């Protein structure tokens, strides 16, 4: 029998790469990097053999999609931020059997989901950046799930998450489920973004983000799930926060009562609100 052994919501901000470079922003994301390193170590200690990443940088318009390749190897340059993330080598194993099982379970619950085995289907940086900073070895088995579902609903993503939990239990895999994306995600306007690397684009977004984290830390997911559709739109949640809806679907949605652990405290990045968190499992 399979098992969900770890769950987290993490950042993938490109400024972590800037933080490693000489210059005025060197070290600016030391906390985020250290938090991802800690989460990676905890994933390894959990006994997980596969990391399923809900990637808000994989945009889909119709249906839900899973990258179920047998292996992943290449050199990645971001088409969004090529000056930040470029020539990044990666190599990981896949878990096609689990990917197929996830897709079937979601489809059986009424949400059409496809698992792809296309060598030419690349992974996005919402998958690669956390894996890099979590220091996951090449032997890590990964499954990448499209976490930006432009024209779907929170309820559909909840159902997909519920199906994933069911499929994991029926598999032979021990899984770490990682939602990769920010909280609020209104990036600064282009004219000022270069000067706003360490700030939020609107104080309103920050205050709502902080309230959300307060709800998470106190296990108040009934309130959070009720506000999620409005929050994700009003505060421009990354990928409309479908990654978060899938994660919570897998954990029990509004009946989840875990008190979320803040691993990297809330920080502002180019207008957005970021955090690294662990969702405890009962």
Q: What is the pLDDT of residues 232-273, one digit of tens each?
A: 999 999 999 999 999 999 999 999 999 999 999 999 999 999
**Average pLDDT for 86-91:** 97
- The residues near 236 (Cβ < 8 Å, ≥ 6 apart) are 184, 185, 186, 205
CA distances to 38, 69, 153, 235, 245 from 222, rounded to whole Å, are 29, 36, 18, 19, 13
Give the mean pLDDT of the chain.
97
CB atoms within 10 A of CB 271: 22
* pLDDT attached to residue 282: 81
Domain regions of the chain by residue span: 3-278
The CATH number fitting domain 3-278, selected from 2.40.50.140, 3.40.50.12780, 3.40.830.10, 3.40.50.300: 3.40.830.10
**Average pLDDT for 113-118:** 98
- pLDDT > 90? residue 165: yes
Determine contact, residues 63/107, Cβ cutoff 8 Å: no
Q: How confident is the model at residue 210 (pLDDT cuts 50, 70, 90)?
A: very high
- pLDDT > 90? residue 195: yes
* pLDDT attached to residue 270: 97
- Count of residues making up the chain: 282
What does DSSP assign to residue 62?
A: S
* pLDDT attached to residue 174: 98
Determine contact, residues 219/126, Cβ cutoff 8 Å: no
Bridging pattern class, strands 64-67 and 141-149? antiparallel
Determine contact, residues 282/16, Cβ cutoff 8 Å: no
């Amino acid at each position: 029998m399979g098992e969900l052994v770890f769950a987290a919501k993490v950042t993938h901000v490109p400024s972590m790469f800037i933080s490693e470079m000489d210059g005025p922003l060197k070290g600016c994301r030391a906390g985020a990097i250290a938090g991802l390193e800690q989460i990676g170590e905890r994933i390894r200690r959990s006994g997980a053999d596969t990391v399923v990443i809900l990637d808000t940088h994989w945009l889909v318009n119709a249906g839900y999609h899973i990258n179920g390749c047998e292996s992943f190897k290449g050199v990645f340059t971001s088409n969004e931020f090529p000056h930040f993330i470029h020539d990044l080598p990666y190599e990981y194993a896949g878990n096609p059997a689990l990917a197929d099982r996830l897709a079937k379970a979601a489809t059986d619950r009424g949400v059409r989901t496809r698992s792809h085995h296309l060598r030419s289907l690349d992974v996005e940086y919402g998958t690669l950046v956390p894996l890099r900073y979590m220091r996951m070895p090449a032997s890590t088995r990964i499954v990448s799930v499209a976490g930006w579902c432009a024209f779907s609903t929170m309820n559909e993503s909840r159902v997909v998450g519920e199906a994933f939990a069911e499929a994991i239990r029926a598999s032979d895999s021990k899984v770490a489920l990682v939602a990769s994306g920010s909280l609020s995600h209104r990036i600064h306007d282009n004219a000022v973004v270069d000067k706003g690397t360490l700030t939020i684009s609107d104080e309103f977004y920050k205050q709502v983000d902080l309230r959300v984290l307060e709800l998470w830390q106190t296990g108040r997911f009934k309130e959070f799930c009720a506000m999620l559709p409005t929050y994700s739109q009003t505060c421009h949640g990354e990928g409309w926060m479908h990654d978060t809806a899938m994660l919570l679907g897998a954990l029990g949605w509004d009946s989840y009562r875990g008190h979320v652990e803040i691993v990297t405290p809330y920080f502002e990045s180019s207008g957005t609100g970021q955090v690294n968190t662990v969702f405890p499992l009962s």
